[in-house]
């Protein structure tokens, strides 16, 4: 067996003893390496099959990759919204075997299994076999990781490429440790392999650029400036032709991270009118996300917190930061390869915490780093207990490490028991079993349109990719409400025109007052507040304004005839307050040739039925209906009115459109 960098030096053995606990466990794990690796393969495969999910997830991102692969294969659109390479990767199998959801899921399972093995070979010379095998065994039975072994998210592919990149880098470093010529010609194939893997990682997920930055920083830190140049060039050799290919064949002139950065650095990516986040907001976001992902999501992943917990802990967050910096100190002094790993984790997580919206709060964003974080944490504990005075604590550390296996396996067995009835039903042909009624009705309605709506008609939906998977039909996705900031009220100051604002969400004010309703065609914009207030702003001539004011006063209806006063009244507006223009919304639908809309009762909180739903399309219909009643007709309904139904609306555009 090759000597491991972090093994105690021969000269120190007399000091720390020849038979410490970790020396014994290291010997055991190294001796049975082959059997343990096969065990990891078998256990990972077995647990993956027991947790196998034949359905797509409710987020829609996994379905999106498949749909993007179909679009790419058909030459319709380049996959640039989520992660480019995963959809291109899927398109290869789609070309050979067709759009087979089960096949794509099996590929994910293979990638996850192989990832664990490659991770071992990448770090086997630099991390104690005790630490490495415990972490790998922990994740071979981890339901949070194994969930992605039967999903079509990019996580499985990203993990696989990430491990391959580390393996390629360490192979290159080992070569230069035995050959100090620094000859590119002599080792060009290793540089190209590293550059190619960095390239694939960067186009699989945007955060993959963290590896490029990490290697550049690492080489400069170690004063290997030529290596920094070589690594950058090796990456650009693949990345620049890729950009040229996109531009020539797809007319794509973007790097590929613009959409993510725009969404990440906006106040609310789903309400674009609210503008960009401030510097103080970004700093605040970093610390809040640090607490969310380190003290909550990371602990959920390794099994020490319930999946649905919302509690965070500042003490745990600080503790993890301290462990990270302690690991940096030990690695800088003793193990430069682990230093690279720590720099990669630090750079990638920092970028993640800065660019992720706080309300996204999904464990998948940190999952790809969780095994690496545990390896580093185990490394620092291992190093600390090599000290002569702290050897006696090795048994305590080892028992604690064993819990990294015991806790996840208990959680996974419980998850298998819960999942088993769903898996049986899905295998028997009931593919929607396990979904909640809101999604069952949504999917059934989308499937209904396949045989009942003309194929030439375009249907707008909130979750287009899920609809495609189950109906094999393309839908138009509407995920945002076109809106602008509350502050734009100030701009409504046209000569010879008057503006009046009333709360149209109040039934007394609007819905049942015919005298007010007759003025609805004069509504120019609508102010929507998180508090529930919805102000219709009427644009009127002086005569019309006097007439409407009289009606409002006669009916004791409160109103604003000075928009400056309305703006002051809205001075405490939240980030969820905005302005929409009914005409712009209708033009948006008309421009995109929408003939039908699916208005579903998709839950905002997927775990329970509440009054809160993903109401993007419902709100668009409401805002339009305020000014243009009769535009929407209900054509079909799936589900009873009290059972989270889905409706199909047909649009009848006004003659003016």
Cα–Cα distance for residue pair 130/382, rounded to 1 Å: 9
Structure confidence by residue, pLDDT tens digits, 304-349 = 988 888 899 999 999 999 888 888 888 888 888 899 999 999 999 9
Cα–Cα distance for residue pair 338/330, rounded to 1 Å: 9
List the one residue out of 81, 101, 79 whose CA is nearest residue 89: 79
Residue 339 three-state SS:
helix
Average pLDDT, the chain: 88
Q: What tokens were used for 345?
A: 């984790």
List the one residue out of 218, 243, 246 whose CA is nearest residue 346: 218
Mean of pLDDT values over 470-483: 92
Least confident among 72-86, 115-129, 157-171, 187-201: 72-86
Question: Going by DSSP bridges, is the β-strand pair 632-638/646-651 parallel, antiparallel, or unpaired?
Answer: antiparallel
- Pair 20, 382: CB distance under 8 Å: no
**Residue 16 pLDDT level (bands cut at 50, 70, 90):** very low
- Pair 408, 44: CB distance under 8 Å: no
Q: 324: part of which helix (H) or strand (E)?
A: helix 314-334
Higher pLDDT, 420 or 532: 420
Q: Choose from 361-375, 481-495, 555-569 the range with maximum mean pLDDT.
A: 361-375
3-state secondary structure 189-250: HHHHHHHHHHHHHHHHCHHHHHHHHHHHHHHHHCCCHHHHHHHHHHHHHHHHHHHHHHHHHH
**Residue 14 pLDDT level (bands cut at 50, 70, 90):** very low
Give percent of the chain above pLDDT 90: 63
Structure confidence by residue, pLDDT tens digits, 64-73 = 999 999 999 9
Q: What tokens were used for 641?
A: 């009115």
Structure confidence by residue, pLDDT tens digits, 497-551 = 888 988 887 666 666 567 777 888 899 998 888 878 888 999 998 899 999 999 8
Q: What tokens were used for 78?
A: 């380049």
Per-residue pLDDT at 381 exceeds 60: yes
Mean of pLDDT values over 578-602: 95
Cα–Cα distance for residue pair 157/65, rounded to 1 Å: 12
Amino acid 4: pLDDT: 56
Structure confidence by residue, pLDDT tens digits, 68-114 = 999 999 999 999 877 799 999 999 999 999 999 999 999 999 999 99
Higher pLDDT, 267 or 142: 142
Amino acid 413: pLDDT: 96
Mean of pLDDT values over 484-500: 74
Per-residue pLDDT at 5 exceeds 60: no
Q: What tokens were used for 319?
A: 């503790």
The alpha-carbon radius of gyration of the chain (Å, integer) is 29
Per-residue pLDDT at 380 exceeds 70: yes
C-alpha distances in angstroms, 101 versus 55, 150, 210, 420, 594? 9, 10, 31, 20, 28
Structure confidence by residue, pLDDT tens digits, 19-62 = 889 999 999 999 999 999 999 999 999 999 999 999 999 988 89
Q: Exposed (0-12), middle (13-18) or buried (19+): which is 235, by Cβ within 10 Å?
A: buried
Phi, psi of 460, deg, nearest 5: -90, 135
Amino acid 15: pLDDT: 43
């Amino acid at each position: 067996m090759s000597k491991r960098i972090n093994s105690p030096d021969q000269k120190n053995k007399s000091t720390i003893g020849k038979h410490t606990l970790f020396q014994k466990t290291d010997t055991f794990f190294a001796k049975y390496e082959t059997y343990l690796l096969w065990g990891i393969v078998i256990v990972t495969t077995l647990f993956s099959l027991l947790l196998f999910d034949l359905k797509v997830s409710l987020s829609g991102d996994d379905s999106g990759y498949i749909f993007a692969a179909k679009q790419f294969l058909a030459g319709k659109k380049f996959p640039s919204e989520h992660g480019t390479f995963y959809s291109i990767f899927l398109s290869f199998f789609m070309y050979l075997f067709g759009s087979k959801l089960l096949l794509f899921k099996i590929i994910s399972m293979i990638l996850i299994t192989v990832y664990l093995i490659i991770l071992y070979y990448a770090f086997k010379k630099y991390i104690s076999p005790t630490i490495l095998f415990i972490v790998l065994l922990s994740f071979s039975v981890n339901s949070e990781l194994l969930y992605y072994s039967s999903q079509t998210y990019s996580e499985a592919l990203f993990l696989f490429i990430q491990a391959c990149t580390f393996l390629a880098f360490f192979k290159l470093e080992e070569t230069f440790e035995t050959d100090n010529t620094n000859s590119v010609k002599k080792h060009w194939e290793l540089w190209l392999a590293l550059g190619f893997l960095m390239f694939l990682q960067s186009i699989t997920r945007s955060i993959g650029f963290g590896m490029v930055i990490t290697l550049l920083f690492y080489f400069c830190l170690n004063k290997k400036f030529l290596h920094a140049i070589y690594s950058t060039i090796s990456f650009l050799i693949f990345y620049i032709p890729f950009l040229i290919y996109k531009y020539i064949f797809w007319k794509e002139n973007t790097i590929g991270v613009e959409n993510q950065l725009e969404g990440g650095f906006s106040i609310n990516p789903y309400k674009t009118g609210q503008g960009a986040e401030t510097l103080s907001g970004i700093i605040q976001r970093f610390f809040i996300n640090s607490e969310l992902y380190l003290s909550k999501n990371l602990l959920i992943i390794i099994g020490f917190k319930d999946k649905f917990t919302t509690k965070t802990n500042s003490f745990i967050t600080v503790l993890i930061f301290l462990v990270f910096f302690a690991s940096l100190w030990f690695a800088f002094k003793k193990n430069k390869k682990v230093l690279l790993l720590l720099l990669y984790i630090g750079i990638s997580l920092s970028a993640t915490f800065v660019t992720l919206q706080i309300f996204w709060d999904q464990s998948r964003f940190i999952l790809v780093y969780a095994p690496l974080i545990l390896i580093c944490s185990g490394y620092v504990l291992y190093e600390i207990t090599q000290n002569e005075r702290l050897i006696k604590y090795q048994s305590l550390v080892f028992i604690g490490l064993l819990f990294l296996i015991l806790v996840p396996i208990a959680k996974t067995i419980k998850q298998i028991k819960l999942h088993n009835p769903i898996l049986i039903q899905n295998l028997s042909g009931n593919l929607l079993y396990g979904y909640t009624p809101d999604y069952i009705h949504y999917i059934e309605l989308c499937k209904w349109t396949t045989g009942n709506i003309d194929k030439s008609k375009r249907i707008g939906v909130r979750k287009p990719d899920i609809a495609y998977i189950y109906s094999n039909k393309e839908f138009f996705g509407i995920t945002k409400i076109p809106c602008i900031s509350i502050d734009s009220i100030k701009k409504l100051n046209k000569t010879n025109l008057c503006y009046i604002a009333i709360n149209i969400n109040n039934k007394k004010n609007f819905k049942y007052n015919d005298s007010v309703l007759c003025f609805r065609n004069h509504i120019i914009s609508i102010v929507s507040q998180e508090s529930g207030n919805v102000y219709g702003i009427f644009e009127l001539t002086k005569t019309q304004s006097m007439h409407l004011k009289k009606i409002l006063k006669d009916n004791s209806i409160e109103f604003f005839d000075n928009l400056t006063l309305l703006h002051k009244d809205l001075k405490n507006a939240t980030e969820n307050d905005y302005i929409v223009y009914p005409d712009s919304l209708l033009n948006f639908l008309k421009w995109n040739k929408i003939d039908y809309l699916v208005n579903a009762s998709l839950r905002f909180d997927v775990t329970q039925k509440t009054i809160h739903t993903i109401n993007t399309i419902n709100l668009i219909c409401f805002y339009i209906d305020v000014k243009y009643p009769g535009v929407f007709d209900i054509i079909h309904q799936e589900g009873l009115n009290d059972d989270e139904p889905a409706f199909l609306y047909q649009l009848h555009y006004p003659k003016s459109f």
